[in-house]
Structure 1
Amino acid sequence: MLMVSEEVREALAARRPVVALESTIIAHGLPRPRNLQVALELEDAVREEGAVPATIAVLDGRAHVGLGKEQVERVAKEDGIRKLGHRDLALAAATGASGATTVSATASLASLAGVRVLATGGLGGVHREWTVTQDESADLGLLARTRITVVCAGVKSILDVPATLQRLETLGVAVAGYRTDRFPGFYLSDSGQPVDWTLESPAQVAEVMRAQDALRGPQSALIVANPVPQEEQLDPGIHARVLADALRACEEEGVTGQAVTPFLLDHLVRHTDGASLSANLAAVRGNVRLAARIAAAWAEA
């Protein structure tokens, strides 16, 4: 049920750098046809840094680690592509479904294939009003038991960032800022929360990865929080105002459960004239390139 592309398989066998890429951004995160353009652009960025891209998705019940161009086009263009977390993988496999993978499913399949580094935009986390809804992303629990390095721009700012950091600490997931002592807020360079550890180079990140293995601790992830450059972030004042409006609209319209995140993100895109989407893409591009450099440093071990 796990199909590893020839390119990825050969790279892993030769200990060349490989970067896992989630496919939800292709199927559900961007409008057509921009989604396909961005998907191919991100793969090209990984290659430019000397690594092999392994975009992950499930097609007709088979999990693919590394997609060909036609498969990427299918994820980008086909109607009915589901959004799959790691809990959905067995169901998708058994029923022959097709779906784009979230961070949790991508991390699970990447780890199974032997890929150690994953790049994404922003992690899921603890939702606002958690004490009432008990709504928490499956990303967190999966990362607590999967040895993978995730390069991200923090967690989505629509979430409860302090609670998410507390939850990651409770779960034993290591978090380090990349050249910053502040935890980024996805669209924003600084969420307002500190991080305890700062790493300054891809080589230093790779050293932490090697230390994780040598110490034989729990099989948990390493999160490398890489802030979007300040000149490319969403204006903090606009962000605060539009997010407050989005939260009010969400409550007034009775949006709950899995519908909350896409509702809020869509509101931000529409009411910032696309500036939030630009910040999102800037973050993803930076994360992909950093992940490729980390994978290269890891492969040198």
Structure 2
Amino acid sequence: MNAFLDIKDEVLKAIEGNKAVVALESTIISHGMPYPQNVEMAKNCEAIIREQGAVPATIAIMDGKIKIGLNDEDLQTLATAKDVAKVSRRDLAQVLSEKKIGATTVATTMICAKLAGIKFFVTGGIGGIHRGYEQTLDVSADLEELAQTDVNVICAGAKSILDLPRTLEYLETKGVCVVGYKTDYLPQFFTAESEYKLNTRMDCVEDISALIHTKEKLGLQGGILITNPIPKEDSMDKAYIDSLILQAVKEADEKGIKGKAVTPFLLAEIVKNSHGESLKANIALVYNNAKLGAKLAVEYFK
């Protein structure tokens, strides 16, 4: 794997020294947020992780390498380039072999983190079962990756543009442990509220760390999904955001937008129709996840 991995010195030293490292995806930079908010968000996430005593490792595909840890120039390129590929599991080998620039999704960030020996990964929200599944059979590769790749994911739930009950059912079928951090219910990305009950609630990082250690000792495959509600002061009104989602889904259907283009389109439409309020919420929940993810990683390596 050394032929493909390009690990930043700071990150490599932390991995080799059994120190806390937290992976970050790059699709949120290239496809999830507009410029320059995307660069600011990425730098602030890394700063938050450092403040908690962990080392950040933003992951992307560049020059035929999996870059584990990016510099300022790399971030700027990802945030502004027009030809950045959105790289999921099926695309990884192709983008590497063709030496294209690629941003990693949740699934691919998990794969790359595992290859580098990183156990924790912070994102905004995972993918899941898309609405209208009966017609499209559209299931995010993130769910299958959680079932088979040993990286623990901290998020604000699944993106609320998805079919959340089916997403939870799929995760249960695949044996993925979903933990609600200080909540009994699945967070809905833009909102802390939800009617979808979780099987497991934990209120401190010590308990989650003990769960992860126990799972590893048992040799159970796959990651643990830690869902962290957006702070109440940043949470959007549920009825309002639900109406914007329905409007965006209808627009996507009318325009025939499918596959991996759906999520970026829906998020951009919601930002536009909420006059930027959803972007503020998105940034706030990512920062909140970065803080929790770093605290959990530090606790784990104690």
Please give the range of the TM-score, normalised by the shorter of the 2 chains: over 0.9
TM-score (norm 1): 0.97
Alignment of 1:13 onto 2:16: yes
Alignment of 1:42 onto 2:56: no
Q: Which residue identity does 2:111 align to in structure 1?
A: S
Alignment of 1:260 onto 2:262: yes
Deviates more, 1:3-12 or 1:234-243: 234-243
Counterpart selection for 1:211 from 209, 214, 218: 214
Q: Supply the RMSD in Å over aligned alpha carbons.
A: 1.1
1:154 equivalent in structure 2 = 157
Preserved contact between residue 161 and residue 191 of structure 1 (Cα < 8 Å): no
Residue-by-residue CA offset, 1:209-249 (whole Å, 9 max, x unaligned): 100111112x1110000000122111112112222222222
TM-score (norm 2): 0.96
1:101 equivalent in structure 2 = 104
Counterpart selection for 2:122 from 119, 123, 140: 119
Q: Structure 1 CA distance, aligned partners of 2:250 and 2:41?
A: 31
1:253-292 maps to which residues of 2 (within 5 A)? 253-292=255-294
1:150-229 maps to which residues of 2 (within 5 A)? 150-217=153-220, 219-229=221-231
1:56 equivalent in structure 2 = 59
Q: Which residue identity does 1:72 align to in structure 2?
A: L
Preserved contact between residue 32 and residue 267 of structure 2 (Cα < 8 Å): no
Q: Runs of 5+ in structure 2 lacking a partner?
A: none
SS at match of 1:190: coil
Q: 1:38 Cα shift?
A: 1.1
Query: Which of the two has greater strand per residue?
Result: 1
Deviates more, 1:171-180 or 1:83-92: 83-92
Deviates more, 1:127-136 or 1:63-72: 63-72
Counterpart selection for 1:242 from 222, 241, 244: 244
Q: 1:269 Cα shift?
A: 0.7
Q: 1:251 Cα shift?
A: 2.5
SS at match of 1:53: strand
Q: How many pairs does the alignment contain? A: 299
SS at match of 1:192: coil
SS at match of 1:8: helix
Preserved contact between residue 120 and residue 284 of structure 1 (Cα < 8 Å): yes
Q: Structure 2 CA distance, aligned partners of 1:6 and 1:252?
A: 48
Identity score, percent: 41
Residue-by-residue CA offset, 1:247-289 (whole Å, 9 max, x unaligned): 2222333333333222221221111111111111111000001
Counterpart selection for 1:136 from 136, 139, 161: 139
Q: 1:2 Cα shift?
A: 1.0
Q: 1:121 Cα shift?
A: 0.2
Q: Which residue identity does 2:31 align to in structure 1?
A: H
Q: Structure 1 CA distance, aligned partners of 2:251 and 2:40?
A: 31
Q: 1:204 Cα shift?
A: 1.2
Preserved contact between residue 88 and residue 104 of structure 2 (Cα < 8 Å): yes
